[in-house]
Structure 1
Amino acid sequence: MNNSTSARHPKGLYVLFFTEMWERFGYYLMLGILYLYMTDKKSGLAFSEAFANDVYGTYIALVYLTPFLGGLLADRIFGYRSTIIAGGLLMAGGYLTLSLPGVTPFYTALLLVILGNGFFKPNISTLLGNLYNSSQNASLKDKGYNIFYMGINIGAFICNFVAAYMRNNYGWGYAFAAAGAGMLLGLVIFIAGQKHVKEADVIQPTQAEDMPLGQVLGYIFVPALLAGALGYFLPRLVGVDSFFGSTTNDIFLFACLPIVIFYVSLYVKASASDKGAIGALLYIFFVVIIFWMIFHQNGNVLTEWAKSYTDRSVSKEMQATLKPFGFLEEIKMPQDIEIPKAPDAAAIAQSMQENLPYYFKNVPPQALPAPGSSIYLISTELFQSLNPFFIILFTPLVIAFFNFLQARGVILSTPAKIAWGLFITGLSTLVMVAAVFASQNGAVKVSAWWLVGTYAVITVGELFLSPMGLSLVSKLSPQRLTAVMMGGWFLATAIGNKLSGVVGHVGAESSNLALPFYINFAGAILAAVLLFVKVGSIAKVVQDKTGQY
C-alpha cells in the first residue's frame, strides 16, 4: 500500500478519525437524550420507566446486530466505502426524522438509524485495519486504533453539551436535528478524503469453505425470523409472560440464535490454518457480552440515577455562569401546591406522588422551593460526557502505562488486557453499590461524585478492552472474513446491549436500587475469570498468526 504517512501512521487514519468523530457526535447525542425523551411526561413520549428500558435495550441491541449484515454485504458485494456512505445517509435521515414529534416518526427514525449503523459501523473499523496491513506500519495497529478511539470520544464528549443547549432552549426536535447535522458533516469529510483510504477498500475473494451470500440470507435470516416468532409464542405455550423480562427481550434473544449458530459454523468448517484464530475470536466475543451489558447502562440505569437520585443543584454563581450556555434544566414548582410545614412523611409522600415534579420526590419538605418558583439543575445528559472525557484524559496515560511495562520487560498480551478490562469494569459497579447505600436506597439525593467515580473506573476498563478488541479482530480474522468477524464483535455488543435493557427493566421493577449493580458485578467478575484461564492459549494463537501478542 502506497500511503504517505504522518508520524508513520497512514493519512487515511485522520480521514477516518474525523469521519467517526462526527458520526459518533450524532449517535451519542441521540443516545444521550433518548431515554430522557421517552420518559418525559410533558413534551416527550411519556413512556413508563420499564417500557423505556425495553425500547432502549432493543434499539441499542439492533443497532449493533445489523453490522453483521452490513459487514457481509461490504465483504462480498459493495465494498467498504460505498457501504459507509449509504449507512451515513440512513443515519442522518433517522436523526432528522426523530426531530418530528409523535410515536410513528419515533419508531421510523429508530429503524433508519439501526439500518444505517449496520452499514457504517463495521466497515469503517475494517477500513482502518486494512490501512495497517502493510509491513511498514503493521506494528502501529494497536496505537492506530487507540487514536481512532479517541476521535470517537471527542465526538461523544461535545455532543451532550450541544444536546443540552438545543433541548433546554428550543426543544427535543432541535436537539435530534443537531445529531443529523453532525452525521452529514462526517460524510462530507469522508467523501472529501477518499483518496487516502481507497487502497484499503479491497474485496477479498471467497474461499471454497465460505457460505454463499444467498445461503447466508436463507440459512440465517429466515431462521432468525422463525426463532423470533418462537420467542414470542413459546412463553405463552408454557404459561409464562416472558423468559427474559419482556416479550421484546424474548423475541430478540431467540432471533440471535441462528446468527450465533452461523458463527459457530464458521469455526466448525474452517480450515486448519483458520480454526485457531476463529475459535479465539468467538471466545472473546462470548465473554465481552458482559462488558457491553454493563457499559451501555449509561443510557438507562445511570441516566435514571443522574436524573432522579443525584443532587444536580448549582449555586447562584454557577447559575449565572452556565445558564447563558443552555446547560441548565429548569424545574418549576406548581403554583397551587401546598407544602407541608413539618416533615410529615405521609403527607409529603402523597403530595410528591400526585403533584411534585420528579426531581423533588426525595427532597425533604423543608428544602423544597416556594410554590411557583423555579430551580436550575445541571442537565442530565451532561453526565453522559463523563465517559468520553475520561477516555480523552486517560488514553495517553493508559498507553504510557503499557509502554512503561514494556520497557521493563512486562508485555501484556491483547487478551490479557481485555481480561483486566473486565475485572476493572466489575470494580466500577461497586462504586454504584456504595452510592445506593449512601442514598439510603434512593430516599435522599447523593453527590454527583458517585457518578464521576463509577465513570472514571469503567473508562479505565473500557480502554483496556474495547480498542484492544477491535484490534484483535483485525489481527486474527482471515482477511476475506474481516468485516464478517467485525460483525461478530458487534453481535456480542448487541446481545450485551439488549441485556442492559433487561437489567434496567429488572431494576425499574425492583425496590432495591442496588440490584442492577449486584448483577453487573457478578457478571463482570465471572467473565474476567473465564478469560483469564484462556489468556495463554489465545495469546499463542495471536503470536502464531501475527508474530505479536
Structure 2
Amino acid sequence: MWKSHPKALPYLFLSEMWERFGYYLMIGIFTLYLKDVEAGFAMTEKEASDLYGTFIALVFLTPFIGGLVADRYWGYKKSIVIGGLMMGAGYFMMGIHDITMLYIAMTLVIVGNGFFKPNISTLLGNFYTEEQYKDKKDEGYNIFYMGINVGAFICNFFGAALQILLGWQYAFMAAGIGMFIGVVVFILGTKHYGNKTEKKGVQASDMPFWKIVMFILVPSAVFGIIGWLIKGVTTEANPNGYIFGSDSTDAFIFACIPVIFFYGSLYFKAKTEDKRPIGALLTIFAVVILFWGVFKLNGSALNTWADRYTDREITGTTQTVFNGLKLAKEVEYKKDTVELYDSSFRIQKVDGEVQKTVDYPVYFRNVAKDKLPEEGASVSLWATNLSQSINPGWVIILTPLVVAFFTFLRSRKKEPSTPTKIAFGLLISALSVLVMIAAVNMGANGSEKVSVWWLVANYGVITIGELFLSPMGLSVVSKLSPTNITSLMMGGWFLSTSIGNKLSGVLASLWDTYDNKQDFFWINFGLLMFATLLMFILLKQLNKVMQEKGIH
C-alpha cells in the first residue's frame, strides 16, 4: 500500500492518527466531565452543551489563521510541532480540577489545533504535486482519512478504561500522551519531507496580512466583546437578559457578523468572471452550517442519549470481558432515592448558597420496574463514551464502499457532480434523524431505555451523509476558488464548520427544555430538510458554474 506513495505518508498518517486519538478521546469525555457532580464541575445539560459548542466552534475557527501563518511566515514543520505541543499541554491541563485551568487548557487546544490541523493536511497535498504521485492523490487522502478515524475509534476504549480505573485526570493525560506521540512520529519523518515543509512566503496575489487583521480579526474581536457585554430584555425565563441564550453564544454570534460581512463583500467586489464561483461557494458554506449543527450533536445530545436513555447494562461473557478491560463500571441501585428525584443531582440551598448534591445514578431513572435490580444490588454498565467510537467505526467500514460506489459510477460516466453529492449527503443525513425519532417513540419518550442499536443505526446513516458531503466540501473549495483568495475561501469552509459547531451547542443546550424529545429531533430533521431543499433548488445553477469552470 505504501510503496506507490511518498515516503512521508506513513509518518503523516501515524502522526494524524495519534493527534486524532488525543482530540477525540478528550471530546468523548468532555461533556460527561463537565456534568459530573462529584469529580467534575456539576454543570447542567445547558451549561455543558453551551461550553462544548463554543469550544468546538473555536477549534474550527483557528485553522484559518494557522494556515496563513504557516504559508507565509513559519513554514509547515514549525507550525505543526508548535501546534501539537500546545494541544498536548492543553489536554494534560484539562485534568486539573480548576475552572480557570480548564479555560486555559481549552485555549491551548483551540490555538494549537489551528496550527496543527490545516497544515498537516496541506503538507500531505504538497507531496502529491510531483508528477509520479499526482494520480495517487485521492487514494493518499483516503489513507490519511482512515488514520484519522482509526485514532478516533480506538481512543474511547483507553478513555473509558482510564476514567473508570483512575479518574478523569488520567483519561485527559492519555489524550496528551497521544498528542505528544503524534509530534514525535512527525519529527521522526523529517528526512522524508525535503523542502515540502518550507513556507511559501507572501505571494503578489495574496491579500496582505494586515488587511486580514484589520478587516476580519479586529472587527470580530470588537463585535465579540460587544456581544458579551450587551444585554437584551430580562424576563423570568431569561433573568440575565441574554440575546441568544448565553454570554458565549451572544459573543460568538456577534463576532461572526463582520466576518460574514467580509465574505459577502468578496462577492460584490469580485471580477465578473469570479462572481459566480464565489457565489456558489458562499451558498454551499451557508447550507453546510446546518449539517454540522446536527452532525456535531454526537459529543453532546447523542452522548446524553447514550448516557441516560440507552440500555447499557451488560451480563454474562460481555460483562466479564468489559469488566476485565475496565470498559464497564458497577453501579449500585438504591430504591429510596430513585423515586424521589428526576436528575443525577438535587439543587438545594444551604446557608443561602446553591449547592448540588448527588442523590443516585441517573441511569436508573428510566429503567422499567420489572428490570430494576434488587435493593443494594449492582449492575455493570459499559462506559458512555464508548458510543463515540460508533461513528469512526462506520467511517472505517463505509469509506471503501462509498469510494467503490463512486468509482463504479465514474466508469459508467454517471458519477454525480460535487454539488449533487453534497445535496444527497444532506438528504441522507436528514434521514438519520428519523432513526432517533423512532428511538424516542420506542422508549416512550425516554420513560424506558432503548437498545444501543438505535444509536448504531443513526450513526451508520449519518456517516454515509458525512462521506458524501465532508470530503466533497474541501474538494469544491479548491476547485472553484479564484487563485488569489484560495486560502481565504478555505477559511470560509472552516468558518461555516465553526458556526455549525456552535449551532450544535445551542441545539444541545435546549435538550432539557423539550418534554417530548421527539420535538427536539424533529427540529433537527427540519433544519436538515430545509438545507436539502435549498441545495436541490440551487443545484442547477451550481452545476452550471462547475461546468463553466470545466470541472466536475
TM-score by length of 2: 0.90
SS of alignment partner, residue 311 of structure 2: coil
Q: 2:392 is matched with which residue: 388, 406, 410? A: 388
1:91 correspondence with 2:91: no
Deviation at 1:269, TM superposition (A): 4.0
- Structure 1 CA distance for aligned equivalents of residues 192 and 543 of structure 2: 32
Contact 2:77 2:198 in 1 (8 A): no
- Structure 1 CA distance for aligned equivalents of residues 517 and 69 of structure 2: 43
Q: 2:7 is matched with which residue: 11, 20, 30? A: 11
Corresponding residue for residue 45 of structure 1: 41
Corresponding residue for residue 336 of structure 2: 338
Corresponding residue for residue 403 of structure 1: 407
Matches within 5 A, 1:66-145: 66-145=62-141
Contact 1:293 1:499 in 2 (8 A): yes
Corresponding residue for residue 343 of structure 1: none
Change (3 A) 1:213 1:238: farther
Larger mean Cα displacement after TM superposition, 323-332 or 178-187:
323-332
Q: Deviations over 1:458-477 (max 9, x none)?
A: 01111111122223333344
Q: Deviations over 1:181-206 (max 9, x none)?
A: 11111111212223444444454465
Deviation at 1:45, TM superposition (A): 1.3
Corresponding residue for residue 54 of structure 1: 50
Q: 2:526 is matched with which residue: 515, 522, 538? A: 522
Amino acid at match of 2:317: E
Matches within 5 A, 1:345-360: 355-360=359-364
Corresponding residue for residue 36 of structure 1: 32
Amino acid at match of 1:409: K
Q: Deviations over 1:275-324 (max 9, x none)?
A: 44433332222111111111110000000000000000111322112111
Change (3 A) 1:338 1:525: closer
- Structure 1 CA distance for aligned equivalents of residues 208 and 512 of structure 2: 44
Change (3 A) 1:12 1:262: farther
Change (3 A) 1:149 1:351: closer
SS of alignment partner, residue 410 of structure 1: coil
Corresponding residue for residue 459 of structure 1: 463
Change (3 A) 1:199 1:339: closer
SS of alignment partner, residue 244 of structure 1: coil
- Name stretches of at least 5 consecutive residues in structure 1 with no aligned partner: 341-346
- Structure 2 CA distance for aligned equivalents of residues 66 and 222 of structure 1: 14
Amino acid at match of 1:402: F
C-alpha RMSD of matched pairs (Å): 2.5
Contact 1:71 1:484 in 2 (8 A): no
- Name stretches of at least 5 consecutive residues in structure 2 with no aligned partner: 347-358
Change (3 A) 1:373 1:421: same
- Structure 2 CA distance for aligned equivalents of residues 297 and 10 of structure 1: 36
Corresponding residue for residue 513 of structure 2: 509
SS of alignment partner, residue 105 of structure 1: helix
Amino acid at match of 2:260: V
Deviation at 1:148, TM superposition (A): 1.8
Deviation at 1:339, TM superposition (A): 7.7
1:150 correspondence with 2:154: no
Deviation at 1:86, TM superposition (A): 1.3
Q: Deviations over 1:246-265 (max 9, x none)?
A: 22211101101222233333
1:304 correspondence with 2:304: yes
Q: Deviations over 1:339-396 (max 9, x none)?
A: 89xxxxxx56689886432001112344332333321111100010000000000011
- Structure 1 CA distance for aligned equivalents of residues 140 and 277 of structure 2: 22
Q: Deviations over 1:427-455 (max 9, x none)?
A: 00110011111111111111111101100
1:221 correspondence with 2:217: yes
1:290 correspondence with 2:294: no
Change (3 A) 1:147 1:521: same
Larger mean Cα displacement after TM superposition, 154-163 or 515-524:
515-524
Contact 2:280 2:545 in 1 (8 A): yes
Corresponding residue for residue 373 of structure 1: 377
- Structure 1 CA distance for aligned equivalents of residues 193 and 132 of structure 2: 16
- Structure 2 CA distance for aligned equivalents of residues 350 and 32 of structure 1: 24
1:185 correspondence with 2:181: yes
Matches within 5 A, 1:395-544: 395-478=399-482, 481-542=485-546
Corresponding residue for residue 318 of structure 1: 318
Contact 1:129 1:471 in 2 (8 A): no
Contact 1:67 1:118 in 2 (8 A): yes
Larger mean Cα displacement after TM superposition, 534-543 or 78-87:
534-543
Change (3 A) 1:181 1:352: closer
- Structure 2 CA distance for aligned equivalents of residues 196 and 481 of structure 1: 30
Change (3 A) 1:9 1:540: farther
- Structure 2 CA distance for aligned equivalents of residues 283 and 200 of structure 1: 33
1:162 correspondence with 2:158: yes
Contact 1:122 1:483 in 2 (8 A): no
Contact 2:11 2:189 in 1 (8 A): yes
SS of alignment partner, residue 330 of structure 1: strand
SS of alignment partner, residue 338 of structure 1: helix
Q: Deviations over 1:35-91 (max 9, x none)?
A: 100111121111111100111111111111111221222232222222111111110
Change (3 A) 1:115 1:28: same
Larger mean Cα displacement after TM superposition, 164-173 or 410-419:
410-419
SS of alignment partner, residue 18 of structure 1: helix
Deviation at 1:93, TM superposition (A): 0.6
Contact 1:67 1:122 in 2 (8 A): yes
Change (3 A) 1:14 1:467: farther
- Structure 2 CA distance for aligned equivalents of residues 475 and 299 of structure 1: 32
Contact 2:50 2:506 in 1 (8 A): yes
Corresponding residue for residue 344 of structure 1: none
SS of alignment partner, residue 440 of structure 1: coil
How many residue pairs get matched?
Answer: 536
SS of alignment partner, residue 356 of structure 1: coil
Corresponding residue for residue 23 of structure 1: 19
SS of alignment partner, residue 441 of structure 1: coil
Amino acid at match of 2:479: K
- Structure 2 CA distance for aligned equivalents of residues 480 and 7 of structure 1: 35
- Structure 2 CA distance for aligned equivalents of residues 359 and 163 of structure 1: 20
Amino acid at match of 2:469: L
Contact 1:228 1:251 in 2 (8 A): yes
Amino acid at match of 1:173: Q
SS of alignment partner, residue 331 of structure 2: strand
Q: Deviations over 1:149-172 (max 9, x none)?
A: 111100000000010111111110
Change (3 A) 1:249 1:505: same
- Structure 1 CA distance for aligned equivalents of residues 8 and 545 of structure 2: 29
Contact 2:427 2:465 in 1 (8 A): yes
